[in-house]
Amino acid sequence: MDDVQRLKRWVTAGGTWRVLARRPGSVAVALCRCDGGEEVDRIVSDDPATFDYLGERETSEEVQDRID
């Protein structure tokens, strides 16, 4: 499963995500529980599709400007 699929599946299951760090060519995203936001996993990705999916959002709770 690619990183974008993991992020979408996580949110569909009720969790949230938040960007921890953006660096040239890399992004770190925390996968968090729905009840309190505790980080339970982390994705570090260099996949351009992940950057495109995240856009400028810092959390999964921000509205995305485009349709997936």
Cα separation, 32 vs 24, in Å, equals 24
pTM of the entire structure?
0.87
Q: Considering only CA atoms, which of 23, 21, 43 is closest in space to residue 31? A: 43
For residue 65, give the 3-state DSSP assignment: coil
47: domain range?
3-54
Report how many domains make up the chain: 1
Query: pLDDT per residue over 10-62, tens digit each?
Result: 999 999 999 999 999 999 999 999 887 899 999 999 999 999 999 999 999 88
Does 9 fall in a domain?
yes
Does 62 fall in a domain?
no
Does 68 fall in a domain?
no
